[in-house]
Amino acid sequence: MQVIENKIIKEKLYLEELENGLKVIVIPKKDTNKKMAIIGTKFGSVDNHFIKPQTKEEIVIPDGVAHFLEHKMFEQANGTNSLDTLTAMGVEANAYTTNDHTAYYFEAVDNFEPAFKELLDYVFNPYYTDENVEKEKGIIAQEIRMYDDDAISKVFLNALECMYEKCPVRLDVAGTVESVNKINKDILYDCYNTFYNPSNMILSVCGDFEPNYIIEFVKNNMRKIEKIGKIERIYPKETEKIYSNFKETSMDVSIPSFVIGIKDNLEKENIVKKELILNILLNYLLDENSKLYKELYDEGLLISEPDLEYEYSDIYSHMIIFSYSKDPKKVFEKIKTEISNLKENGLEEKSFNRVKNKIYGRLITSYNSPAQIGRIFMRDYMNDIISFDYINEWNNITIEEANKLLKDKFIEEKMILSIVNPK
């Protein structure tokens, strides 16, 4: 078992790869009542074209299969639903699908062992029939229509459609009503047997445990599954240019919402430092204490602090600014002007250190919650990152590097604006 210690925050990580390829991460958290287990598979909405390792057959699947699989995983052959079973134990359980992974988790104070056993049971024992797949289509179609009427979902999806021409990140995670109707149990089993192999999965557990106890528990409560080879995923080639710089639509809303997207290229060298610096820059530009935010707020152009995020995977990379405004186009122009001024004059050191310290505080605080720790370590490890790397990299960040990344990444030609206006 590999042991990795971070002396700055006094936390340890225990990592073991089982014979079947499952990577198990245990982060002991002494003297805490809460316990968290999350298991993720590197299978998301972008993975719709691949070669099966078992047969070398090239497969193209309808959009929305990863999300459909997530819905079906709780249903069991004996007629029970694992989500109901877990809820009856008094634990909080759920699942989610993103562009690049799917995850199943629970948080518990009591009944950890039976809940953990249930998690390992339903995730590794799928049950799909023609009847239960057909029934689910109607449920998911209803969910898709609901999100079609949701302004926040629409403004984000339109932003991705502006930034990307071919990359499947531009597609809705749930697919479309048409694509969902093409899904059948054979497609689900094909994808399950490919992507839900333990060698493509990561289990992260946090709580007051001995690591060996967790490893042995997993070994004793998983059915035997043979390890498969590497999954070859096939993605369309995406240009570094944006597809379109603007998209506007109208919906039943009271105030316009907007997303400003900044498309990035895909280099992943030193991605930890890059992610930290880009988050510092986004907050320097527009957090609630920034000069620009105060100006926009005082003018009534922003009604609340924007959501600021950098997202990346093997096939996409971009920054997002989301908020509400009576005049998003004017906000966009003012943001571009401020970026231009910062590039010319450089970041102010006092403000840079303020933002840097704020984000470091957030990072440290996240280690207080077993639920956050479990998710963070699972998600980061999917990107070949040990979450402690963010702590270790922090003191190496300089204002000179931030100024350089500002010039390299905040490029006007790679910026888009998506707006949802009131009808």
- Between CA 421 and CA 423 the distance in angstroms is 6
Between CA 254 and CA 259, with CA 256 as vertex, the angle to 5 degrees is 145
- Between CA 290 and CA 277 the distance in angstroms is 16
**DSSP-assigned letter for residue 399:** H
Show the tokens assigned to 34. 């809460």
Cβ burial 350-373 (10 Å sphere, 16+ → b, else e): eebebbbeebbeebeeebebbbeb
Q: How many CB atoms lie within 10 A of CB 55?
A: 10
For residue 377, give Cα distances in angstroms to 38, 114, 203, 416, 421: 10, 23, 9, 32, 38
For residue 170, the number of C-alpha atoms closer than 13 Å in the C-beta half-sphere is 18
- Between CA 140 and CA 199 the distance in angstroms is 29
Instruction: Assess whether 136 carries a catalytic annotation.
Output: no
Phi/psi at 13 (5° precision) = -120, 135
Q: What is the DSSP string of 241-265?
A: S-S-SEEEEEES-SS-EEEEEEE--
Q: What is the DSSP string of 103-139?
A: EEEEEESS-HHHHHHHHHHHHTS----HHHHHHHHHH
**DSSP-assigned letter for residue 166:** S
Q: Which listed residue (11, 70, 75, 107) is catalytic?
A: 70
Residues labelled catalytic = 70
